[in-house]
Each structure stands twice: as C-alpha cells, then as structure tokens.
Amino acid sequence: MRLLNTSTLELRTFGQDRPPYAILSHTWTRHEPPFEAFAPRKHFSAYISRMRKKRKYAKIFWSCKLARDSGLDWIWIDTCCIDKSSSAELTEAINSMYAWYEAAEVCFAYMRDVSDKDDPVDEDSSFARSIWFTRGWTLQELIAPRTVEFYSTNWVRIGSKWEYAATIEKITGIHRSVLKEPYFSGLKRQRQYSVAQRMSWAANRRTTRPEDLAYSLIGLFNIHMPLLYGEGETNAFLRLQSEIAKLANDQSLFAWGRWPLSANDISEDALIVGGSLYAQHPSRFSFSGDIIPLRRNDGGLAWSSEFSLPNDGYLRIRLRVAENTARPDMRESHIAFLECELLHDPDRVVGFFLHEYDRVEGMPVGVHVYKREFATLAKFPRKMAIDAPLRDVFLSSVY
C-alpha cells in the first residue's frame, strides 16, 4: 500500500507494518493530480512549493492539512497513490480498497458541491442533493470507514456520518445502524443485511467507467474478482453476482424486479433478456431494500441447500415450486418461492413466476428446467410456499 506523507508529500510503500493513516473520499473532476506528479525527483521540495500555487492540487494540500491536524503523518488518496499504468496494481488496489478504507483512522469526505451555509437535515439542502451520494465508489467509502467526516466545498467541516446517520438513511436507503457500525465488513454483521438489501443501496448510483459499477461493489460483498475493463457493464455485473453466488447461500440475490399490481402492469421493459436468473444492472434491485432471508425460529435458513453453478449456462438450485394457480391471468405456468420475506411482513414470502420447459436435451430425466421471463416479484402466503414440493431445478444463469 502506497501512502502520501502529509508534510513532505512524498510517496512511500508499506507492507503489513503500515502506520496510522487518513484517507480521502471525493468525486473526480477532469483535473486530478496523477500518480506521476508525486514520483521521486530531484529538488522535490522546490517542485512541491511550485505545485502549491496550482489550483488542481488544492484538494491534496487541504486533505494533508486535515490529516496533520488529526495527528496523522500519512494519507491515502486514490488519484495519486495508485499507479494506474499497472493493471496488476490497479486490480490489487480495487480488490483491497474496502479494507483500506476500513483500516483508516478517519475518512475525509470532500463534497465539492455542498455549501456550509445549508442545514444538512433540510431535504432540499445541497448536502442531500450532493453528487457524492450518487457515485458508485463512494458507497463503500461511506460504509467501510469507522469515522467519516464530511467537508463542504470550502473545506468547512459539516459533521460525521454518525451525527447525520438518520439524514443519510433518507438520502441513500442505507439503514442508520449500518452507518453507526464501526466494522460492517465482519461476516456476522454483513449477514444481517441480505444481498438484495446491499444491492438496493447501489441501485441509483453510477460510475464513469461502466464496469466500475460492479467493481465498486466487490468489498461490500467480501469477494475478490479480476478486473476486465472492456467487458462492459452487464458482463461485469453478471460476474459479480456469480462470485456472490459461490460464497453466499442467500436467495435474495435473485429477488430483483418490480412489484406489479396486475398482469396488465407488466410492461415489455420488464422482459428479461435471455431469461437469466441474474440481474443486468443494480437498478433492478431498486425495490428490494426490505427483502431479507427467511429464517426458522432457531435462526437457520428455512428450507434450501446451497446452490451450485455448473458450467453449462444454468444454475442448479433446490426450490419450492408450485403450479401457478394464484395468478391465472399470467402466462407463466409456475411459481418459484424464494427463501426470502419482507422486513415488515413476515407472514409472506417472496417469489417470482416461471415458464417450465417440457424437456431440455442433455438434462437428466426428472430435472426441471425453468426460465424467468419477466423482472417482476410477488408476495405469497408462507403456508402456500411451505406446502409446495421441493424440487431440484435448473434456471438459466447467463444471457
């Protein structure tokens, strides 16, 4: 890990023995000082003196000053602490970034579009409307650090994420208890919030590079994956979900889509390309913020075993499946009940509608193959789900 000295602005690489450090969270502009600007050179101190006069370096100097005022000699800033010309270094940094933010003593969140004259609690304040709350990378930068201090465009302290947890919950949908939790990455803590809930936090965020919408979520799900810039937004997000499926037996991964009022409310834009069980984009989880895993009284999962991902384009999973007698107005022949319920409606489970294939060449006899055609969800009585037979089924998992 490469850190910037807050007094000399020299870069130094540390291993496991790294010192206490601050970290900066910010939204990029077209004029960010690159890694090369801080590379060792002759007469470095004189070079830094000239640099102080350039406006584009102001963010670096202000961040270093805040760190020094906090008694910290080192700071990590993404724009100048990563050599992005090295794909190996960039991959390692992105896969480690959540842990780096979590390990920081303090995170300074610079909000360049926020006035220190506004009341952050006001629903129409510049704080509530800040672009910082819409970017993909700042999601982990909000959740991972123990302490996040917000600063206005003039570098005036606004407050901490702990102080404004209730306000940030309204802005982002992230429960305030997550914002007050010093170590959210612990597996026990993460499991309290389903995959669907965590995905919903990213539903309305965006990134400059399309693949980063998926890559920025790596740490939030405690996974690692290679970066393949150029693969496209959808492929990157599919790979992310596939990695999550390998590690988390949480069927809320598949609980995405809208809640239609009737079959007439299902529009063509709800049609799933290729019938994949995975979502194409985090926005598909916009309505999934209250979906949680279904639990027995002893805390165990309700009925399923782990799902597997054979290399044949299907995901094998054990689900309770029933014929669709609940909604005869829909053309889908069956209902799959997920091991999920709604946070404030424990008497109902979440499911979706499926089309069953009569026979698929190459599949064993007795194995049922289904396709999910529409990005819709529905609620069903828990008893209806429990009475449905458990089946080993194959569902399409790729486009």
pLDDT digits (tens, 9 = 90+) for 124-142: 999 999 999 999 999 999 9
Buried b (16+ CB within 10 A) or exposed e, 101-131: bbbbbbbbbbbbebebebebeeeebbbbebe
d(CA 270, CA 364): 31
* In contact, 84 and 37? CB cutoff 8 Å: no
Task: Tell whether the model's pLDDT for residue 76 goes beyond 90.
Answer: yes
Over residues 39-68, the mean pLDDT reads 78
- The pLDDT of residue 185 is above 70: no
Residue of 54 and 118 predicted with greater confidence: 118
Average pLDDT over the chain, rounded to an integer: 86
User: What is the structure's pLDDT at 246?
Assistant: 84
Q: So what's the pLDDT on residue 193?
A: 87
Say whether pLDDT at 275 is over 90: no
Closest CA to 310 of 255, 359, 254, 242: 242
Question: Which residues are paired to 369 by β-bridges?
Answer: 394
CA atoms within 13 Å, Cβ hemisphere of 287: 14
Position 209 pLDDT exceeds 80: yes
As given in the structure block, the two tokens for residue 100 are 């780096």
Tens digits of per-residue pLDDT, 15-53?
889 999 999 999 988 888 888 888 776 666 666 666 766
For position 187, what pLDDT does the model report? 47
What percentage of residues in the chain have a pLDDT greater than 70? 84
Which among 37, 19, 24, 33 has a CA at the least distance from the CA of 73?
A: 19
pTM of the model: 0.89
Whether the per-residue pLDDT at 366 is higher than 60: the answer is yes
pLDDT: is 84 or 268 the higher one? 84
Q: Distance between CA atoms of 386 and 341, rounded to whole angstroms?
A: 13
Give the pLDDT confidence of 103-116 residue by residue, as tens digits.
999 999 999 999 99
Mean pLDDT for the stretch of residues 241-261: 86
pLDDT computed for residue 277 by the predictor = 83
**CB half-sphere exposure, 301, CA atoms < 13 A:** 18
The whole-number pLDDT of residue 29 equals 87
The pLDDT tens digits of the residues spanning 301-360 come to 555 666 777 666 677 888 889 988 877 777 778 888 998 999 888 889 999 888 887 766
Pairing of strands 157-160, 291-293: unpaired
* pLDDT on residue 393: 78
Contacts for 186 with CB less than 8 Å, ≥ 6 apart? none
Lowest mean pLDDT among 191-195, 196-200, 209-213, 375-379: 191-195
Considering only residues 346 and 99, tell me which one the structure prediction assigns the higher pLDDT. Answer: 99
Side-chain-side CA neighbours of 42 within 13 Å: the count stands at 0
Rounded to whole angstroms, the Cα distance separating 243 from 176 reads: 27
HEC secondary structure over the chain: CEEEECCCCCEEECCCCCCCCEEEECCCCCCCCCHHHHCCCCCHHHHHHHHCCCHHHHHHHHHHHHHHHCCCCEEECHHHHCCCCCHHHHHHHHHHHHHHHHHCCEEEEECCCCCCCCCCCCCCCCCCCCHHHHECHHHHHHHCCCCEEEECCCCCEEEECCCCHHHHHHHHCCCHHHHCCCCCCCHHHHCCCCHHHHHHHCCCCECCCCCHHHHCCCHHHCCCCCCCCCCCHHHHHHHHHHHHHHHCCCHHHHCCCECCCCHHHCCHHHECHHHCCCCCCHHHHCCCCCEEECECCCCCECCCCCCECCCCCEEEEEEEEEECCCCCCCCCCEEEEEEEEECCEEEEEEEEEEEECCCCCCCCCCCEEEECCECECEEEEHHHHHHCCEEEEEEECCC
Distance (Å, whole) CA 179 – CA 323 = 42
User: Mean pLDDT, to the nearest integer, of 192-215?
Assistant: 94
pLDDT for 304 = 60
